[in-house]
Amino acid sequence: MRAAIARVNSAIGYLRCSTDRQADSGLGIEAQRASITATAARLGLPLAAVFTDAGASGSLAIDDRPVLLDAVSVLKRGDVLLVAKRDRIGRDVVEVAMVERLVTKRGARIVSAAGEGTAVLTAASSKRRTSSSRHFGPFGSCVPMAVRSRRLPTP
């Protein structure tokens, strides 16, 4: 019989600043680093690696952001891609959805140190959100809201 080896989940940090000036000053990157380091400690996760995209616009396509793809590629089941704010992943909703899908396929999740997208859900709303997210991806949380709006009487 094989002994089960418990794997400790890890946080993989991803930092990005848009301009070379921000990158050279270190203020944007260092502030993000401090934020994700504190969040990893609060969550009790070791910060296994930090990937830095200095001077990379969030509007670039995924293919033009090899550092982001490198960060996603090291994620393992149960890991967390830790960002200071969700906008560090990108500016284009479709591109961000594609990154989120890549992370999910690896069995990992994205956590924002600023807390965006990490609201506590009730069991009922969690089940509804999970069901619609399965079909509609990152837009799944909008579906129940759209359905409710159709039920409202028109003035």
Q: How far apart are CA 36 and CA 66, in angstroms?
A: 21
Residue-wise pLDDT tens digits, 36-94: 999 999 999 999 999 999 877 778 888 888 999 999 999 999 999 999 999 899 988 99
Cα dihedral across residues 146, 147, 148, 152: positive or negative: positive
The confidence score (pLDDT) of residue 57 equals 79
Residue-wise pLDDT tens digits, 102-144: 999 999 999 999 998 654 333 333 344 444 444 445 555 554 4
Is the pTM higher than 0.85? The answer reads no
Fold of 11-118: Rossmann fold (3.40.50)
Query: Where do the domains of the chain lie?
Result: 11-118, 119-155
